[in-house]
Structure 1
């Protein structure tokens, strides 16, 4: 009997001595675009890197096409740690970080190199830090390319936009941009744009080529102007609650994976722009218009006066800092 009690005691001690297996960390990553866009591909690449390098200790569940949340709901979910990561467009942050409307200013960037100098420099870091007050950690910027104008008529001169109803994201800068062209800006969720164009609720829109092609806007827009007038990017953010629960090694692993995913995303955005432009041309339903330097300057001259309207909201120092990076 004593021997039996001794064995039972040993069994209990052995159970107590063995530490419980730690549950894997799960990252729910919500976004609203198709898997075959730069953002969609970058999220999948991030998942691959994190899961491989953590040996399965960190799981990444990617939810594309707003299958879990749209971007506005995702920001609320992040603040409560209901999701751990998201990559909304800048417009979704501007109610609490109006300085991000900097990127909506038309013709702010000379080219992609100028853009990345701003994103990777002092201006970009300041903006990443500004989301912390809403319970988020700013991780990175992912490109979706420069925006182009489309309509059911050629848009060659600024006057060609007059009277057209343009779908826009919620942004005071974009409202001012199209009002300066005597056009009518209409705020609509991205998921409703195709049907709105099809049903003539709106006449025109602005999109990077990846969105224009993957959402099949070439089926409902006869003309596309290669204006490169604005930048559409995403800020990748993590829940601050989630981030604080990680240990130093986990944070370092995720940070490095995000850095590599950002490089991947931005390289892919350039490559896919070329691919999608070729696909749009092949579809044959949309005529492509390339602006001459003089024509582009006419658009720029028409729109530059709106900058001063946003010196207070965006910050004159940020605007001037972004412009200076291109000189």
Structure 2
């Protein structure tokens, strides 16, 4: 009897030991799901491919990395809450869908940035201003911002009606992606803003629900909107779109320090090439629009400065309505002035 009990005890101990040994690696391996709502051919998805490749080189099989494009997990408008709740590990949403949770993400869409060039915008968002916005997002949204933001590019106006000056925008029904500042800008330029999901834009144009679209060259090409009647483009650098690399704190805080470092290193290594890819995509898309008969007009710096001055009259109201910290706006204005942008 005693021998049988000893054998059973030994067997149980061995079983527990095997379970622990086998369970160790399984428990150590984490799954990193990345949610994107754009399709695999989009420049954001291509940039994430670079990041994933660099990360895999660093972590081997310690992380299972899964990319879900085309809103298979979440639309960008919903992903910030999913990150906060820990329902997904990573996403790279545009700033325009984040200002409801952290108003400061709307700063680059304020009138002060209208017509501002890419170099000045990036200098601010990669510097002290962007770091302050990241810190606020991390505290309030329960996320970790991996590093510099990924670029999309400038938003411009596109229409099936002649569009060659700011005056041509008056009375046009303009599709926007959302955001109080974006709506205010369209209104300030004489248009009528209309929030329409991107997949519904072709029908909205074809059925005259809207007369124009506020978007980017690359996005226009991805949807082949010349087939929906777009014939004119007015390049006015309304604002510079960027995507923010966010990791859920629920996932990040449980990662070993070396895996955290691997993620930030992989992001910092690939953000430069990803931005170059985005710039190339916009240039190529511009040429594609021209090749499909879209007439392109570029607003002069003088015209942009004049309109920026007019739009600034409404900025305080927009800042107040959105709850943006006025100290951050003052910081942005001061930095823009240092870069020769007068407001």
| TM-score, with length taken from structure 1 | 0.90
2:197 is the counterpart of 1:189: yes
- Match of 1:202, SS? coil
Aligned residues: 325
Unaligned stretches of 5+ residues in structure 2: 339-343
Runs of 4+ in 1 over 6 A off after TM superposition: 5-8
2:17 is the counterpart of 1:16: yes
1:7, CA displacement in angstroms?
Answer: 12
Correspondence for 1:77 among 67, 79, 82: 82
Correspondence for 1:126 among 132, 142, 158: 132
* Alignment-derived partner of residue 230 in structure 1: 239
9-18 or 93-102: which moved more? 9-18
Contact 1:47/1:59, CA 8 A, preserved across alignment: no
2:168 is the counterpart of 1:168: no
Q: Output the CA distance in 1 between the equivalents of 2:146 and 2:317.
A: 29
Q: Output the CA distance in 2 between the equivalents of 1:282 and 1:8.
A: 79
- Match of 1:185, SS? strand
Unaligned stretches of 5+ residues in structure 1: none
2:321 is the counterpart of 1:321: no
- Match of 2:86, SS? coil
2:98 is the counterpart of 1:93: yes
1:6, CA displacement in angstroms?
Answer: 7.6
Q: Output the CA distance in 2 between the equivalents of 1:255 and 1:138.
A: 9
| TM-score, with length taken from structure 2 | 0.86
Correspondence for 1:39 among 40, 44, 69: 44
* Alignment-derived partner of residue 226 in structure 2: 218
2:280 is the counterpart of 1:271: yes
Q: Output the CA distance in 1 between the equivalents of 2:284 and 2:54.
A: 25
Q: Output the CA distance in 2 between the equivalents of 1:147 and 1:66.
A: 22
* Alignment-derived partner of residue 243 in structure 1: 252
1:22, CA displacement in angstroms?
Answer: 2.1
Deviations 1:219-268 (A, max 9, x none): 22110111112111111211110111101011000111122232222121
Contact 1:34/1:214, CA 8 A, preserved across alignment: no
1:81, CA displacement in angstroms?
Answer: 1.8
Correspondence for 1:61 among 49, 66, 71: 66
Distance 1:107 1:230, change over 3 A: farther
